[in-house]
Structure 1
Amino acid sequence: MEPEKKVSPTTTTKKSKWTIPHIYVLLFMISGLSAILTYIIPAGSFERVDGPNGRESIDPNSFTEIEASPLSFMDFMLAIPRGMSDASEIIFFTFIIGGMFMVLRRTEIIEIGVDRLARKFKKQSILIIPVLITVFAAVATTIGTPELALVYIPVLIPLCVSLGYDSMTATAIALISTVLGFTAGVMNPGTVGISQQIAGLETYSGFGLRVLVLIIIVGIGSMYVMRYARRVKKRPKDSFTFDEDEQKRLTYKDALKQPAKQMNQRQFIAMATLPIFFAILIFGVTQLGWFMLEMSGLFIFMGIIVGFIAGLSLTKICEAFTEGFREVLMGAIIIGIARSVAIVLEDGQIMDSIVYGLGSVVGHLPSTLSAIGMMVVQLVINFFIPSGSGQALVTMPIMAPLSDLVGVTRQTAILAFQFGDGFANILFPTSGYFMAALVVAGVSWSKWIKFFLPLFLIYMGVGTVFLIYAQVTGWTG
Structure 2
Amino acid sequence: MSDNEIDNVELVSRQKKKFEMPHIYVILFVFSAIAAILTHFVPSGKYDRVLGPEGRTTIDATSYHLIEQTPVGVTDFLTAVPRGLIDAGEVVFFTFIIGGMFMVLRRTGIIEVAVDKLARKFANNGLLLIAVLTTTFAFIATLIGTPELSLVYIPVIMPLIIALGYDSITAAAIALCGTGAGFSAGVLNPINTGLGQKLSGLPVFSGMGLRSIVFVLAVTTVIFFVIRYAKKVKNNPSKSYVYEEDSEKRIEFNQIVGGTALTMSPRQKLAAYAMLILSAVLVYGVLKQGWFMVEMSGLFVIMGIVVGMIAGLKLTEICDGFNQGFKDVLMGAFIVGLARAVAVVLEDGNVMDTLVHSLGLLVGDLPPELAAVGMYFVQTAINFVISSGSGQALVTMPIMAPLADLVGVTRQTAVLAYQLGDGFTHVLFPTSGYFMAALVIAGVPYQKWLRFFLPIFAVWAMIAIGSLIVAQLIGWS
Q: Please give the TM-score of this superposition, normalised by the length of structure 1.
A: 0.96
Worse overlay, 458-467 or 48-57: 48-57
User: For 1:307-386, what aligned pairs fall within 5 Å after superposition?
Assistant: 307-386=308-387
- C-alpha distance in 2 between matches for 1:159 and 1:100: 18
Amino acid at match of 1:368: E
Aligned to 2:163: 162
- Aligned-pair distance for 1:275? 2.8
Aligned to 2:25: 24
- C-alpha distance in 1 between matches for 2:405 and 2:436: 37
Q: Which secondary structure does the structure 2 equivalent of 1:57 belong to?
A: strand
Aligned to 2:96: 95
Q: Which secondary structure does the structure 2 equivalent of 1:19 belong to?
A: coil
- C-alpha distance in 1 between matches for 2:304 and 2:125: 33
Q: Which secondary structure does the structure 1 equivalent of 2:435 belong to?
A: helix
- Aligned-pair distance for 1:5? 8.8
Aligned to 1:241: 242
Aligned to 2:134: 133
Q: Does 1:120 align with 2:121?
A: yes
Aligned to 1:394: 395
Worse overlay, 373-382 or 134-143: 134-143
Amino acid at match of 2:309: F
- Aligned-pair distance for 1:255? 4.1
Aligned to 2:54: 53
Q: Which secondary structure does the structure 2 equivalent of 1:293 belong to?
A: helix
Q: Does 1:433 align with 2:434?
A: yes
Q: Which secondary structure does the structure 2 equivalent of 1:14 belong to?
A: helix
**Contact conserved, 1:162 with 1:253, CA < 8 A, in 2?**
yes
Q: Which secondary structure does the structure 1 equivalent of 2:79 belong to?
A: helix
Amino acid at match of 2:269: F
Q: Does 1:66 align with 2:67?
A: yes
Aligned to 1:182: 183
Deviations 1:216-250 (A, max 9, x none): 21111111100100111112111101111111112
**Contact conserved, 2:115 with 2:256, CA < 8 A, in 1?**
no
- Aligned-pair distance for 1:279? 2.2
Q: Does 1:420 align with 2:431?
A: no
Aligned to 1:452: 453
Aligned to 1:39: 40
* Identity within the alignment, %: 55
* Cα distance change of structure 1 residues 257 and 264 upon mapping to structure 2, 3 Å threshold: closer
- C-alpha distance in 2 between matches for 1:218 and 1:136: 10
- Aligned-pair distance for 1:276? 2.2
* Cα distance change of structure 1 residues 3 and 288 upon mapping to structure 2, 3 Å threshold: closer
Amino acid at match of 2:192: T
Q: Which secondary structure does the structure 1 equivalent of 2:41 belong to?
A: coil
- C-alpha distance in 1 between matches for 2:12 and 2:202: 64
- C-alpha distance in 2 between matches for 1:362 and 1:196: 20
- C-alpha distance in 2 between matches for 1:382 and 1:63: 20
- C-alpha distance in 1 between matches for 2:146 and 2:13: 50
- C-alpha distance in 2 between matches for 1:4 and 1:230: 45
Q: Does 1:298 align with 2:291?
A: no
- Aligned-pair distance for 1:71? 0.6
Q: Which runs of 5+ in 1 are unaligned?
A: none
Deviations 1:156-208 (A, max 9, x none): 22111111111111111111111111111112121111111111111111222
- C-alpha distance in 1 between matches for 2:144 and 2:387: 18
Amino acid at match of 1:328: V
**Contact conserved, 2:162 with 2:254, CA < 8 A, in 1?**
yes
Amino acid at match of 1:14: R
- C-alpha distance in 1 between matches for 2:210 and 2:97: 37
* Cα distance change of structure 1 residues 123 and 11 upon mapping to structure 2, 3 Å threshold: closer
**Contact conserved, 1:95 with 1:328, CA < 8 A, in 2?**
yes
Q: Which secondary structure does the structure 2 equivalent of 1:122 belong to?
A: coil
RMSD across aligned C-alpha pairs, in angstroms? 1.8
Q: Does 1:461 align with 2:462?
A: yes
- Aligned-pair distance for 1:286? 2.1
Q: Which runs of 5+ in 2 are unaligned?
A: none
Deviations 1:386-443 (A, max 9, x none): 1101101000110111111111111111101111001110000000110011111111
Q: Runs in 1 of length 4+ with deviation above 4 angstroms? A: 1-8, 10-13
- Aligned-pair distance for 1:251? 2.0
Deviations 1:32-73 (A, max 9, x none): 000000011111100000122222100000000111110111
- C-alpha distance in 2 between matches for 1:207 and 1:161: 37
Q: Does 1:213 align with 2:214?
A: yes
Aligned to 1:443: 444
